[in-house]
Amino acid sequence: MYYRAEIYNGSIVRNSFIAGSIEVLKDKSEPYVKDDKVTQIKVSKVEDIGFFKVPSEFEEYLKDELL
């Protein structure tokens, strides 16, 4: 399981990052907590990260299995 923080400046997402533990996420977001321009920090659990690159020899296999 992963944790994601989205840093908002008004209604615009200024930055977003993912960490493997809540402690690492706290360390990464500490500078934003002290920033007066940041209006909101939204933290959520991420069960699975869906964006990754695979070697080309696995692409056909994955297409058949996933589709």
Binning pLDDT at 50, 70 and 90, where does residue 16 land? very high
Work out how many domains the chain is built from and give that number. Answer: 1
Token pair in block for residue 54: 């695979």
- Per residue in 22-57, pLDDT tens? 999 999 999 999 999 999 999 999 877 666 666 777
Is 43 within 8 Å of 21 (Cβ atoms)?
no
Taken in order 34, 36, 40, 42, the sign of the CA dihedral is negative
Domain, as residue range, for 14:
2-66
